[in-house]
Structure 1
């Protein structure tokens, strides 16, 4: 997960946040205002903004110190632990709500559900949410995929809403449900290129290849008329201990 610390500032400015319905759905599912909230893999706080709105004491776990520094600056009222979820010690009695935004895949598949279950108070709520980025114009999407493939950059091969099935398959949480909403995300050339520069597959490439990808995508956006409209698919998965 420390991969993103190299672009912590850009990540914070370029990645979209989360809509208010995420927090509203968490409270509705939980059945009351939570008494405490813990966030796993909080990054620079894209999901934290929604969770802070729940009004409960907030603890954030973020292993990359560069991301954690941005996070602490944005949310001074939150308690930030620069460590991994696996090394973090839950509070006595557990957390009322345990949340994770776009970081569930960084946790060990063999232990993440059990550790999350054990970190929750009885009757507590697990909330996992994230975005999947598509394209409003299928032709634009295909052109981007072809360009990235040519430059040996591939995206995630995880199935759509895979973390919903992951929680269901583990079987320790009850009442598991999924909510999905889609939102158009218009971006100009700079906004789109900045967003694309924050994704893991690209960050794993050499600086020279990253430059080549940015130049190729820039030419594509120019061909598109200078703008791209993404199809932002936001999924929330909820379950109870």
Structure 2
């Protein structure tokens, strides 16, 4: 996980307050894909535990990797029953035989794209499950979407969004995993101007901008949402990608 992920610790409490959680059905989908309750779960980049809360519903021991001690402290306070390791996925050493389930909640994009699929595949036990999921934030009103996008691009024209199916395409395109499938759900989430600006303040691209850009962006978006009546309705699109390590690795067996 690249070190820019450490910027979230600066706003750990705000992050935990304003970031929306995940539907409980994700745990059921993971268990069904895995074929039952796993013996254990490794979560990459657990943050303050938005994904951890769902993974605990599997009824299996959960080990969380979180490189930022400030985020890890918030996670520990919420879920003292989990094992927390303050390290990146790249620093972590898997046990002999691998782990049954590896999960990443809005963390896959922080991993090195050149190695993340290979690392996850190698760390899974034969037949093990990879579960990567996360939110993408849009807007229920297309007019509001265009206005906010234009305001943010005026502050920083380099802003780019990942394609909607990037998570599935990345994992499937690696050619490593079997039984790759994606589930996509969406829900509308109203937010006041104040709460939406706090949410923006937790986004990675925002936190890596200069202080001047951050101020200009918040001022511009705040004025827009106030003009919308003080509320913006987000379209929160949640993608869950499930994949499996083959029980018999064809690459290994061919060698």
CA RMSD, Structure 1 to Structure 2 (Å):
1.2
Candidates 199, 203, 208, aligned match of 1:204: 208
Q: Separation in 1 of the partners of 2:238 and 2:123? A: 25
Matched, 1:31 2:38: no
Q: Structure 1-normalised TM-score? A: 0.96
Q: Separation in 1 of the partners of 2:189 and 2:175? A: 35
Candidates 159, 169, 174, aligned match of 1:170: 174
| Contact 1:148/1:154 (<8 A) preserved | no
Aligned to 1:106: 110
Q: CA deviation at 1:93?
A: 2.3
Count how many residue pairs are aligned between Structure 1 and Structure 2.
241
Structure 2: state its 5+ residue gaps: 246-255
Matched, 1:188 2:192: yes
| Contact 1:153/1:201 (<8 A) preserved | no
Q: Separation in 2 of the partners of 1:176 and 1:26? A: 12
Candidates 14, 39, 45, aligned match of 1:41: 45
Q: CA deviation at 1:209?
A: 2.6
Structure 1: state its 5+ residue gaps: none
| Contact 1:154/1:201 (<8 A) preserved | no
| Contact 1:2/1:64 (<8 A) preserved | yes
* Greater mean alpha carbon deviation, residues 177-186 or residues 88-97: 88-97
Q: Separation in 2 of the partners of 1:64 and 1:35? A: 26
Q: CA deviation at 1:193?
A: 1.0
- Match of 1:236, SS state, is strand
Matched, 1:137 2:147: no
Candidates 85, 88, 96, aligned match of 1:92: 96
Q: CA deviation at 1:212?
A: 2.3
Aligned to 1:218: 222
1:202-241 CA distance string (max 9 Å, x none): 1112223322222221111110011111111100000111
Aligned to 1:118: 122
- Match of 1:53, SS state, is helix
1:48-72 CA distance string (max 9 Å, x none): 1100111100000011111111111
| Contact 1:60/1:81 (<8 A) preserved | yes
Q: Separation in 1 of the partners of 2:109 and 2:178? A: 21
- Match of 1:185, SS state, is strand
Q: Structure 2-normalised TM-score? A: 0.91
Aligned to 1:6: 10
Q: Separation in 1 of the partners of 2:46 and 2:209? A: 24
Candidates 29, 45, 65, aligned match of 1:61: 65
Q: CA deviation at 1:153?
A: 6.1
